[in-house]
Structure 1
Amino acid sequence: MSLDDATKLPAAKGPLVYRQSVWTRVTHWVWAICLFFLLLSGLQIFNAHPALYVGQESGFEYDNALLRIGAVNTPEGPRGRTILFGQTYDTTGVLGMSGPQASPVYTAFPGAVTIPSFRDLATGRVVHFFFGWIFVGALFVWFLASFINGHLRRDILPGGRDVAGLPRDLADHARFRLHHGRLYSPLQKLSYFIVFFILFPLIVLTGLTMSPGMDAAWPWLLDLFGGRQTARTIHFGVMVLLVLFFIVHIVMVLLAGPLNQLRSMITGWYRTAPGTPREQGDRP
């Protein structure tokens, strides 16, 4: 075979493996939809009192906020201002004050990232609670199905081998050397474990802690999180971490091959790297 003939040969492909069950795929897309509406409706709710505290006390008359977003009058006119851990930042045009200069909007987060896009706390709460309960239901279905089909043990819970292989996997990701194997990598397992067993439970429980009805039924929630205001601050912080996780997740999908990743989350079939051992039921 000549060199020219060799260059015309198609690139070798690894086998297609059935990587994602129907339960994983359905709950994945349900969570994606829910988190979108929860984020934007949550920012609408936050705009009603754009400050975060630790402890039981809060209010406009207090000066103990960890985060406060608003607008202030200055010699140059109104400006958006964000105070984070005592440090003041001018956030005009983004936070506190946004929109056209002729008719600015004085809200913590602009209407472009809230549901509804105008001030409507009641609708924001209805949307938030509706998708919040769908999120919790999907989480319960995922845990039950993943426990039964082994996805939880096989792909989420890190084992000793995963812990030992984490430094190398971190180095490979830093060099954008992404592996296309049958199983999740150690870094993937650790990331999903943190999301499913720490961030998701935290955001659900802190959300319940902010409900007076749930506090009456489960008063231990207030003791667990040190008060409703502390729970609200943790809730907001977990939201920020989930947004960061989502951004990194999308970047990794793009780097690892978006068509292959989307096929996996739509059909369940994932194209592995050449040389991956085949199993019964794999497609060539």
Structure 2
Amino acid sequence: MPMSENKEPASAKGPLIYRQSIFTRVTHWTWAICLFFLLLSGLQIFNAHPNLYIGQQSGFEFDNSVLRIGAVNTDAGPRGQTTIFGQTFDTTGVLGMSGTAERPVFTAFPGAVTIPSYRDLGTGRVVHFFFGWVFVATMFVWFLASFINGHIRRDIVPRGADIKGVPGDIADHARLRFHHGRTYGPLQKLSYFAVFFVLFPLIVATGLTMSPGMNSIAPWMLDLFGGRQTARTIHFVVMTLLVTFFVVHILMVVAAGPLNELRSMITGWYRTSPGTPAAKGDKP
């Protein structure tokens, strides 16, 4: 029977597999919501003191800052300025100074990317801490469920074959050739392992280290991270890495086929590449 030009033959499709459990899907979307509010409320908190330091303390008698965002007066008027490790950049309109020439706003990050959009440290802290604890609870649920159902062992922890397959996977990604298999590819495993077992625990631990209440319970955390100021800097760097991961993650979802990827994270069912062997429970 002749095949329509607009339809793909059934043989050109791999089986539809149940790839993502309900726990993976719910925690995935919960994390997405939490990280959105944590990022924007965190920038509100950062605006209260837009400087990062390395060391146990900061002060006027010495300068141990590694990042400073603010505004300075120049012959041409006020300008936004960002200093990173002693190197200064003009960031007018983005960082340090935003808004219009008639109504400039002198904050490190503009109100468009903070919660609330106006200066309100108290509300920013309430929002940040609320979603921070939701984030931690979601982490606990994910780790427990993923350990029990084998998701961590099967899909997250890289094995020897995954490490060997990294160069080939990099080459395939560079050519936008994506393999839709039953489990994650080498780069996916390495990136998810780094996020779940390094970045997530690190951002939670450094956040707790900045809490005076936690310092009284576990003072050793201050020594572990080199002081509250260093913990704050690490917290900011990890946040930047998570934002970078999110951007790359979205780009890969779009490049690999957004409908298939979204279906996987909404219904759990994922269309594999042609040639993938069928197994019990798969759909055509």
State how many pairs are aligned.
282
Q: Helix, strand or coil: the match of 2:89?
A: strand
How many percent of aligned residue pairs carry the same amino acid? 76
Match of 1:211 in 2: 211
Match of 1:14 in 2: 14
Residues 206 and 225 of structure 2 are in contact (CA less than 8 Å); yes or no, is this contact kept in structure 1? Answer: yes
Report the Cα offset of residue 9 of structure 1.
5.6
Say whether 1:127 aligns with 2:127. yes
Report the Cα offset of residue 63 of structure 1.
2.5
Matched residue type, 1:224: L
1: CA distance between counterparts of 2:64 and 2:103?
31
Report the Cα offset of residue 86 of structure 1.
0.4
Matched residue type, 1:140: F
2: CA distance between counterparts of 1:159 and 1:126?
41
- Distance change (3 Å), C-alpha of 1:175 and 1:77: same
Match of 1:144 in 2: 144
Deviations 1:157-209 (A, max 9, x none): 00111111111111111111111111100110000000000000100000000
2: CA distance between counterparts of 1:98 and 1:220?
40
1: CA distance between counterparts of 2:60 and 2:18?
55
1: CA distance between counterparts of 2:230 and 2:7?
62
Report the Cα offset of residue 10 of structure 1.
2.6
Residues 209 and 221 of structure 2 are in contact (CA less than 8 Å); yes or no, is this contact kept in structure 1? Answer: yes
Matched residue type, 1:281: G
Report the Cα offset of residue 58 of structure 1.
1.6
Q: Helix, strand or coil: the match of 2:13?
A: coil
Residues 55 and 64 of structure 2 are in contact (CA less than 8 Å); yes or no, is this contact kept in structure 1? Answer: no
Instruction: Identify unmatched segments of 5+ residues in structure 2.
Output: none
2: CA distance between counterparts of 1:174 and 1:223?
42
Matched residue type, 1:134: V
Match of 2:175 in 1: 175
Task: Calculate the TM-score normalised by the size of structure 1.
Answer: 0.97
Match of 1:155 in 2: 155
1: CA distance between counterparts of 2:178 and 2:146?
25
Task: Calculate the TM-score normalised by the size of structure 2.
Answer: 0.97
Deviations 1:4-39 (A, max 9, x none): 858566332111000000000000000000000000
What RMSD, in angstroms, separates the aligned Cα atoms of the two structures? 1.3
The runs of at least 4 consecutive aligned structure 1 residues that moved more than 3 Å come to 4-9, 59-62
1: CA distance between counterparts of 2:223 and 2:277?
52
Deviations 1:219-250 (A, max 9, x none): 11001000000000000000000000000000
Match of 1:268 in 2: 268
Matched residue type, 1:200: F
Instruction: Identify unmatched segments of 5+ residues in structure 1.
Output: none
1: CA distance between counterparts of 2:80 and 2:61?
19
